[in-house]
Structure formats: structure tokens, C-alpha cells
Amino acid sequence: MLTKLQIRALLMGVGGYVGAFLIVSLLLTLAVNVGGSPTPGAMLFWAVFWLLTVFMLATGGYISGWLAGERGLLHGFVVGLVGALFVGGTLQLVLPHFIIEESGSPIIGYLMPSVVLTTMGGGIGELFKRRRHAGSE
């Protein structure tokens, strides 16, 4: 089953995952630095931030499932696992130790949602590719 994975699709998916993570992180950094103190629009900001986070996590799986064209769920799962371990491991090394002690390990808290959302993204990417090809025939 794992031998049917397409390496190109996985690499592009992980690249999309990491790229989307960096974009959302930069947007969050800009918003926090520019926004300053909490305002009445803070709830809207956090709602948009979580929506962007969901799309960010699903992006890598979607790219992988789209490129593979088959077994999108499996491709998305592998992208989520590799991406979460890479990003979580990087956060573990970069974040100061006092933050990690209070919040727990970024890898554990990040792995489950990452795998679930990228798996769903992979399935959606596969479905859209099949639908597009079915409509063009």
C-alpha cells in the first residue's frame, strides 16, 4: 500500500504545507504587532485566524491528493504526519523552554489536527481532480 505513494506528490504536499504554515505565521505576527491591545474586532480576528489555520493545514494534503490523483487520503495522511513532525520539531527547537513547559509539547498538540485536516485535504484534492477529468471527457 505504501509502495503506491507518489514521491513527487508527497514532496510538493509537504512543501505546500510548510509554505502555508510560514504564510499564516507571518500574518499572525503582523496582526499581533500591528493590532496591539485587544479591540472589539478581536473575536473576528481570531475566527479568521482559525479559519486560515484550517485551510493552511489542509493545503498540503490537497496539493498531494490533487497531484497523485489516487489514494488522496493516504497521501494527505503522510503529508500531515511528515509536516507536523517537521513543523512541530522546529517549534520545539526554536521556542524558549519556559513556553514549552507551560503549554506542553508542540509536536503532540499539533500532530492530531494536522493529520486529520491534511488527510481530509488529500481526499478533497483527489475528488476534485477526478471530477475535473470526468467533466472534460
pLDDT at 70: 81
Task: Say if residues 114 and 83 touch (Cβ distance below 8 Å).
Answer: yes
Which residue did the predictor score with more confidence, 122 or 2? Answer: 122
Which residue did the predictor score with more confidence, 101 or 117? Answer: 117
Q: For the residues 13-23, what does the mean pLDDT come to?
A: 87
Spatial CA neighbour of 63 closest among 84, 86, 80, 49:
80
Neighbours of 129 (CB within 10 A): 18
pLDDT of 31 strictly over 80: no
